[in-house]
Amino acid sequence: MTVFRHRFDSTVLREYDIRGIVGKTLKPEDAFAIGRCFGSVVVREGGTRVAVGYDGRLHSPELEAQLVAGLRACGLEVIRIGLCATPMLYFAAYDQEADGAAMVTGSHNPPDYNGFKMMIGKKPFYGSAIQAIGRMAAEGDVVPEKAGTDRAVDIAGRYADRVLKDWDGGERKLKVVWDPGNGSAGPIVKALAARLPGMHFVINGDVDGTFPNHHPDPTVAKNLEQLIAEVKREKADLGIAFDGDGDRIGVVDDEGHILFGDQLLIVLARDVLKARPGATIIADVKASQVLFDEVAKAGGQPLMWKTGHSLIKAKMAETGSPLAGEMSGHIFFADKWYGFDDAPYSAVRLLGIVARMAEPLSKVRAALPQVINTPELRFNCEEARKFEVVREVKERLAAEGAKVQDVDGVRVLTEDGWWLLRASNTQAVLVARCEASSEAGLERLKAQLVKQLVASGLEAPDFSGENAGH
């Protein structure tokens, strides 16, 4: 019997997932160890079956094979979904009645990164549970070795059928441009586009782990330039982009303007609230105040929550919320769907809404209250110091009698608007954002933020030129 012991690089076990640079901080033997430890958790909770998928990165197949070997060594049956978008794996966990699921994916990170997202039962596997994997590996705290099995299952057709079951568009035939960004959502996006009414154009639909056309992160405006150009050229009704593993969405309207995550959530929430008046709609702490106001105006109960897809999913389950979203483009439907973040499904629901609209999406966007804000501002802060800085700022604000929401970091409300400072859970950085109704107000908010950073001994970042209409 082989004695199992393993040590991970200290940087790879994150709050929401496991992630590292392949060949440097993340290696095939790490994938085996994750399978061995995560598989032991599943077995100890009475499970017998785990679903596994992988994204389009060049090293994902090798990592998937080692992950499967580790799971099999726990005596588990492994359902191998193959190359897929992350939400397809989540769907497979339900469809195949799995007791856990693990996705090999580097998400929206550069091509040399990869990692693992997991769920236990039907719940996200994150936080202390991920940290426990490191302890289990170091101590060899795993179930006795036992021969398991694996088999391949093609889930794509069943997933597409289930997604399209919730198509609810009207008579209007849309013209849509899709951009999977050469990520692993490409094949399923092509399949869905072929079956939806209207005219559909898919760009960058072939899976290519080198991401030759642009980086697969739809929250960065530069990565949407090609999509915007195609929307304008085709005179399309909208364009839809995905991140590298298809769990985050980006949207461009008929005029080529970007709908940010909170603006998209407003459009989706208004529709959901027609059928579910009074429902709780959750958004992360980085979202615009406009979102929370518009949800309330539409008859919903807005709830501000912590940033992080695992944290949002857990809060949805706790509150019974039918819809949630993050500025990062994670959209979670529990209305007719399963509550996990699923960009292809969210896209189909959005298309249904737009197809029932009498006006173009650009008019809906333009009619939203106009505010001025900064994009998400990220600046380096030592890992050991970042949470301490936020605590110091919070204490000073309390002494000043400031109005503060502290659900995740500090979100400070003033007559001008609000500013946010929080510590990233995944990197050695602080994250800031400001929003005001005027340029002058925004400058005052940025000055308050800088003052607090300087008071904690940090060099004030340069916020010049960091304003955007929203």
What string of H, E and C letters represents the secondary structure of 48-99? Answer: CEEEEEECCCCCHHHHHHHHHHHHHCECCEEEEEEECCHHHHHHHHHHCCCC
The whole-number pLDDT of residue 378 equals: 86
Q: Which CATH superfamily is domain 18-154 in?
A: Alpha-D-Glucose-1,6-Bisphosphate, subunit A, domain 3 (3.40.120.10)
Interatomic CA distance for residues 257 and 79, integer angstroms: 41
First to last CA, the chain: 60
Interatomic CA distance for residues 73 and 69, integer angstroms: 6
Residue 2 burial class via C-beta count within 10 angstroms: exposed 0-12, middle 13-18, buried 19 and up? exposed
The whole-number pLDDT of residue 80 equals: 98
DSSP state of 324: E
The whole-number pLDDT of residue 139 equals: 97
Q: At 421, is the secondary structure helix, strand, or coil?
A: strand
Task: Name the class of domain 372-469.
Answer: alpha beta
Interatomic CA distance for residues 145 and 41, integer angstroms: 14
DSSP state of 26: B
Active site residues: 107
Domain boundaries, the chain: 18-154, 158-367, 372-469
The answer to whether 257 and 287 have CB atoms below 8 angstroms apart is: no
Interatomic CA distance for residues 353 and 235, integer angstroms: 19
Q: At 270, is the secondary structure helix, strand, or coil?
A: helix
Pairing of strands 100-104, 113-120: antiparallel
The answer to whether 311 and 261 have CB atoms below 8 angstroms apart is: no
Q: Dihedrals φ, ψ of 424, to 5°?
A: -65, 140
The whole-number pLDDT of residue 1 equals: 59
CATH number for 158-367 (one of 3.40.50.1580, 3.60.15.10, 3.40.120.10, 3.50.50.60): it is: 3.40.120.10
The answer to whether 171 and 327 have CB atoms below 8 angstroms apart is: no
- pTM of the complete model beyond 0.85: yes
Residuewise pLDDT in 10s, the chain (470 residues):
578 999 999 889 988 899 999 999 999 999 999 999 999 999 999 999 999 999 999 999 999 999 999 999 999 999 999 999 999 999 999 999 999 999 999 998 889 999 999 999 999 999 999 999 999 999 999 999 999 999 999 999 999 999 999 999 988 999 999 999 999 999 999 999 999 999 999 999 999 999 999 999 999 999 999 999 999 999 999 999 999 999 999 999 999 999 999 999 999 999 999 999 999 999 999 999 999 999 999 999 999 999 988 899 999 999 999 999 999 999 999 999 999 999 999 999 999 999 999 999 999 999 999 999 988 888 889 888 999 999 999 999 999 999 999 999 999 999 999 999 999 887 789 999 999 999 999 999 999 999 999 999 998 777 665 555 55
Say yes or no: do domains 158-367 and 372-469 share a fold: no
Q: What is the pLDDT of residues 154-176, one digit of tens each?
A: 999 999 999 999 999 988 999 99
